[in-house]
Amino acid sequence: MAVRVAEEWLTICGGCEVSILDIGEPLIDVLALLEFVHMPVLMDHKYYGQTGEGTVLEIPEADVGMISGGVRNEKEKHVTEAMRAQCETLIALGSCACFGGIPAMANMYSLDDLYSKVYRESPTTEPAEVPSGTVPSLLDRVYAIDEVVPVDLYIPGCPMNPGMIAEALTSLIDETPFELAERSVCDECPVKRERKSGEPIERPLQDAQFDLDGPLENMRCLMEQGILCLGPVTRAGCARTREAGAPKVPRCIQGYMPCRGCFGPIRMDANPLVDMMGALSSNGLDVRQVLDRRATFNRYIGARNRLRPLPSRPAR
């Protein structure tokens, strides 16, 4: 019998769904074993009946539920709870679902601050009231899926590694365990490490020095070149490849770019900001040169309370 799959997208750009397509040929084999019962990105299935006649939010029963995107408003919270109730296994798809993702950078500010910035203070905006009534109201911050309902499986990445989705789906069908590696991106990175560096820290978009025709193994570690790379505090996994025998290289490194940290922390409860600042300072780099530390080190992981408005200082 085919595995029934329900897929839902919340606060998301849609890249995770593209990433599913990007599985490529192996998807054809997997598709034969799947039956999609609910997937707003592909099919027109309404929550309250096709003509809106229903009174309860209805999602068909499924064996596997996949949610991409974090939870930002009341509707998404409602949908997440319905998905959990109807799906036997729930997968958090992508960094937004796992850790809040890019939208969770807004967690640095209170809702009032966001409203006044977006609807009133921004120079290109005509001041207006905050919409209410016709649209679902926002929650106080962006939540990861597992802050709202329990999650069985996490597939991080922005976007995810297509090979990893195929692997997770296959392991669910075959009932074999699927686990994320507790290693860092550096463990899978082939570049050359020479010595600890005292280079000034540059922005991630600064050009690295490398030989375009030579093998990647000849490039010097980007962190040693002074380009801020989040590899040391980011979970490995993006380097997997579909073709057997192909070399495993982290994806951003393949493009001669530093790791941006999309796979999230190596352990779920780690704090990359503190880890990275500790590592940089122990290695003799000047941490003062890192710009916008909170956002840089929490770029994809702002939910789960990693980013929050700074506490107001008590009156002296």
Partner 1 sequence: MSEANGFEPKIIAFCCNWCSYAGADLAGTSRLQYPPNVRIVRVMCSGMVHPNLIIDTLTKGADGVILCGCHPGDCHYLDGNLTAQKRAEAIDLMLEDFGLEPERFRLEWISASEGPRFAQVMTEMVESIKGIGPSPYVRRSD
Based on CB atoms, which residue is closest to partner 1, 135 or 274?
Answer: 274
Q: Taking CB under 8 A as the criterion, which residues in 146-165 touch partner 1? A: none
134 binds partner 1 (CB under 8 A): no
Among 52, 123, 215, 311, binds partner 1 (CB under 8 A): 311
Which range in 33-41, 183-191, 224-232, 280-288 contacts partner 1 by CB under 8 A? 280-288
Which range in 92-100, 139-147, 259-267, 308-316 contacts partner 1 by CB under 8 A? 308-316
Based on CB atoms, which residue is closest to partner 1, 12 or 280?
Answer: 280
CB 251 within 8 Å of CB 225: no
282 binds partner 1 (CB under 8 A): yes
Q: Cβ 198 to partner 1, closest distance in Å?
A: 12
Whether cis (ω within 30° of 0) applies to the bond prior to 200 is: no
Residue 174 phi/psi, 5-degree rounding, is -85, -5
Based on CB atoms, which residue is closest to partner 1, 35 or 182?
Answer: 182
Based on CB atoms, which residue is closest to partner 1, 268 or 277?
Answer: 277
Q: Cβ 175 to partner 1, closest distance in Å?
A: 38
81 binds partner 1 (CB under 8 A): no
Please state, in angstroms and rounded to a whole number, the distance separating the CA atoms of residues 313 and 140: 21
Among 127, 200, 214, 314, binds partner 1 (CB under 8 A): 314
CB 92 within 8 Å of CB 59: no
Among 280, 299, 300, 306, binds partner 1 (CB under 8 A): 280
Based on CB atoms, which residue is closest to partner 1, 246 or 310?
Answer: 310
CA distances from 55 to 10, 32, 85, 121, 251 (A): 21, 34, 17, 39, 46
Where residue 205 falls (left for φ over 0; alpha for ψ -120 to 50; beta otherwise) is: alpha
Strands (E) across the chain are located at 3-9, 34-38, 62-68, 71-73, 87-93, 138-143, 153-155
Which range in 11-19, 35-43, 167-175, 276-284 contacts partner 1 by CB under 8 A? 276-284
Quote the radius of gyration of the chain (alpha carbons, Å).
21
The token pair at 261 is 């940290």
Nearest to 71 by CA among 42, 101, 32, 43: 101
195 binds partner 1 (CB under 8 A): no
Length of the chain as a residue count: 316
CB 267 within 8 Å of CB 182: yes
Based on CB atoms, which residue is closest to partner 1, 200 or 311?
Answer: 311
Nearest to 22 by CA among 206, 159, 118: 159
Q: Taking CB under 8 A as the criterion, which residues in 244-273 touch partner 1? A: 271, 273
310 binds partner 1 (CB under 8 A): yes
CA distances from 199 to 68, 195, 252 (A): 39, 11, 21
Based on CB atoms, which residue is closest to partner 1, 32 or 310?
Answer: 310
Q: Cβ 311 to partner 1, closest distance in Å?
A: 3
Q: Cβ 299 to partner 1, closest distance in Å?
A: 14
Interface residue list for partner 1 (CB under 8 A): 271, 273-275, 277-278, 280-282, 284, 287-288, 293-294, 310-316
